[in-house]
Structure 1
Amino acid sequence: MTLIDIDKVRYRRHLNHVFIGSGVALAVLSLSLSQLLIFLFPDDSGSHFHWNALGVVIAAAIVGFCLSHYRHHTYLREVLYVWELKRALNKITRKMRKVEAAAQQGNEQAMQTLQFSYAGSRQLWQLDDNIIIMEELAIKQAELDALAERYKITLDAERYQEHFLTEF
């Protein structure tokens, strides 16, 4: 995955629109479908829980299908990028101990993985205004830079490939 610069204001606006639109669509579809099912298949006992639940499940499936179908639309470009970045960082985080240990041994792929993880995390935290942990990240980055200098490795987040993780 390649890190790209995205406009924070545009990203936040589009993310909010997607969340609000999905929520409204889910609510409207759930209520409409539930009422339609209750109208078509009335229950003499007065309990319509199963029709309400089915309406919610169908509405969730429709909203999920629409989001999946339109995920490569230009309007969702930033939202999809951040979602993919979070997924990639999560994969790295699950193997972080092994990656850090390999980096200490001079493994170049491990160091490139850490560089990508730190750069991606920095970008995410800035997009989400989560700057509390930035100081800790700067310390880790300085440690990685010193390690790379010791092993004469040039760090570049663009050189990271997801298949590097299979080694760890």
Structure 2
Amino acid sequence: MQLKNIDKQLYRSRLNIVIVACIASLAISSLAISQVLIQLFPSEFGSHFYWNLLGVVASAIILVFTLLKLKTHPKMHEVAYVWDLKQALNLIYRKNRKLLAAAKQGNVDAMLALQFSYEGSRQLWQLDDNTITLSNLNDAQLQLDNWVKEYNVELDISSYHSGLLKAF
């Protein structure tokens, strides 16, 4: 995955549309499915809890499949990019302890993964207006910059790919 410049206002407006559409479709479809199931299979005891639960689960599954199908739509580009970025950063975060230890020893791939993580996190947090933890990120970036200088390494995050993480 490569980092891309994303228009924050466009991303936020499209994300809001996706959120509202998901909430509305989940509410409407779960009620519709539940009502159809209740009409087809009425309960003698008056409790329709399981039919309602099945309606919600079926609606959630349909919604996930719909989102996966629409992920490549041009209007979903920014939202899908952030979705993919979060997944890529999560993969790195799971290996963070090993990556930090390897970077401290001079492993270039570990440093590259950390650099991608820091730049991706910075972009993500700025898109989501989550700047509270940027100071922690800046401290981690300073530590990485020190290792880069110490081992005389040049990092080009455009050469990052998730396959680098398999070694850790």
Q: Tell me which interval the TM-score lies in, with the shorter structure as reference length.
A: over 0.9
1:58 aligned partner, one-letter code: A
| Cα shift at 1:63 | 1.3
Residue 110 of structure 1 aligns with which residue?
A: 110
Residue 127 of structure 1 aligns with which residue?
A: 127
1:10-159 equivalence runs, <5 A? 10-159=10-159
| Cα shift at 1:139 | 2.1
| SS of aligned partner of 1:4 | coil
| SS of aligned partner of 2:120 | helix
1:14 aligned partner, one-letter code: R
Distance 2:30 2:81 in 1: 29
Distance 2:59 2:136 in 1: 43
Runs of 4+ in 1 over 4 A off after TM superposition: none
| Cα shift at 1:146 | 2.0
2:55 aligned partner, one-letter code: G
| Cα shift at 1:160 | 1.3
Q: How many residues align?
A: 168
Distance 1:47 1:138 in 2: 55
| SS of aligned partner of 1:124 | helix
1:88 aligned partner, one-letter code: A
Distance 1:148 1:28 in 2: 54
RMSD: 1.1
| Cα shift at 1:84 | 0.9
Residue 163 of structure 1 aligns with which residue?
A: 163
Distance 1:130 1:56 in 2: 31
| SS of aligned partner of 1:117 | helix
1:112 aligned partner, one-letter code: L
| Cα shift at 1:94 | 1.0
Deviations 1:117-158 (A, max 9, x none): 110010011011111121221222122122112211112221
2:145 aligned partner, one-letter code: D
- Where does the alignment leave 5 or more consecutive residues of structure 2 unmatched? none
Return the TM-score normalized by structure 1: 0.95
Deviations 1:46-70 (A, max 9, x none): 1212221221122112211111111
- Where does the alignment leave 5 or more consecutive residues of structure 1 unmatched? none
| SS of aligned partner of 1:5 | coil
| Cα shift at 1:44 | 2.2
Distance 2:109 2:136 in 1: 22
